[in-house]
Structure 1
């Protein structure tokens, strides 16, 4: 019990009990005089815009009060008061919750981001418990290792090694894979499976074991690239259709065999590699020899072609020179012939003029009544000898012999 003054500041509340056990709540700012009363300051709980206050009443009713809000914990009414953060969702995240409706039925709700989710009092979140990555090895999965409430709806991937895979000749190997997947239907996934990663692992193992069991160890090594094809995983794709997922690609990352078997295989690979290197070396040497011979033949053909072209050029030049000389000779002969023709024409022209002059002269003499026959005889030279041949009228042949002086 207290007697005296008590002060309440702004934003404070207090619970005051009297001697009869009755209680009242006082709110500041206020100055209170207490007489045989008990003073108890109440705890203040405030939530901002991203928080909400969880209130548990003594009558069992639970309330969620979204911020901004302030609640004073009253021990007469409240069993517990706490503050919780709202759940922020990105654009690629989904939250699944269950809520008791007014008809007492439970309904499932899917909340897509981006948003800030404030949980109601009659609502609880779906907790996913899936196979998760082993802290020691990223290629092994542990049941229940991955626990979360935010579901990612973007394409994702994980590594996984399928162990204890036995081939047709009883060789035990480990196949390394990488799976790319994407969630397509959330409702279908929630209704069909509790752990899709476990479904992926089981179907992958079944498909890989079924594929490897038909092949020997060497055949598996030669054809292991086929594990990159989606057609090699029929059980995986069939199960994905049921649980609302889509596997876009399965990447084969290699294999691991028993150490003894691996050493034997490594020795065989080394021997094959050595033989292949020797084969390629011999092949390269043969190719080099063929290349050298081919180039030598091309060089000889080129030289012969150049010699032929040189001879053809020489013949062409000689022919051109000969044609040039013939042309000059022809031009020279043509010039001589032209000069001869011109000389003859000049001589003929001169004789023609002379004859014309004589004709005019004889014409003038004839006009003057001159006997041209006597005139012409007078102009001719006197002969040294005159031979007169008189033959009989009945003679057919006459023989005439003349001695040369």
Structure 2
């Protein structure tokens, strides 16, 4: 009893409280998204998404208890085993799963139960990279170790892309934030930022014109600064060539690698009015729903865009539309505030860990949740492409809720034992 008492005293109840509040609000908004005023059913009706989500919430509580019961050292010692198990599961899903909505990423357990291994691969990868980073020093700029680290982080998204789940694969890019915290060269972040900037720029400016502009600017810079930088002339020429390669690579990637529906999503991001009744329908209706909520919203269960199914996937990818329409700007601000509060709390928990493994894993958790939060809300208001990733703890779905619950509560289980951890 004494050990249990000490453990409960060291559990981060603030984070658990935020989790419980967000899951509850998510459940209520899922009910609002599927509510039909002409055929009123209970929020506990297990034929509705709200009833099914309640079952997922109940099983998540069992998962939480199990995660605290397991020896916290197992998360470190078994990290690679867990990682490779999910790699094999991803490969098995790619090889044997049936195609659902254009992707081979779902394992059908029963007629009413499906699991998506890609969701669980996130926490498995977070464990593996945290284990690897606890055994090296990224501040020493060992490129061999960094290449291995990148390999661990990139293998799951490569398989997921082959499953035709591009949105889920993009999430793994969030790990770079955790790598940067542990001392990875800022150059990689700078290259990534430049890549994103050029990607957006090539959507707005024809590649040939952009390449010409870069060449003129670089030529002018070299001309007026030649005597000062001539020792580094080849370095500057190398940067110029790299930028040109990036510019034309983006165009090639969009035109030859992405599928038609993915290309359309990018086109809608650049020009929302390109096809408002076709490829732009989701985003257009999403913005109408959120905008119609005004400051205070229309009220719980009073959303008209929701009730008449104008926005597809309203209880999953576009759950934030329900928040905006029924609870308005103020309700949306509260939800965003909860996410910011949770992220800040996770970072606080990560920073107080005594081990590199615990700290790195905490930043992996924060990075993944932040990416989902940023992209999901961004796509509902037209600031990010529609890539089909859930809003953590709010979107309907067992795989999503389970995976985020496991991701978060492994950290809280490690944190609860931090005073026993000698670190490494």
Q: TM-score, normalised by structure 2?
A: 0.19
Considering Cα pairs closer than 8 Å and 6+ residues apart, tell me whether 1 or 2 has the greater RCO.
Answer: 2
If you compute each CA radius of gyration, which structure gives the higher value, 1 or 2?
Answer: 1
Q: Select the structure that is richer in strand.
A: 1
Q: Select the structure that is richer in helix.
A: 2
Q: TM-score, normalised by structure 1?
A: 0.19
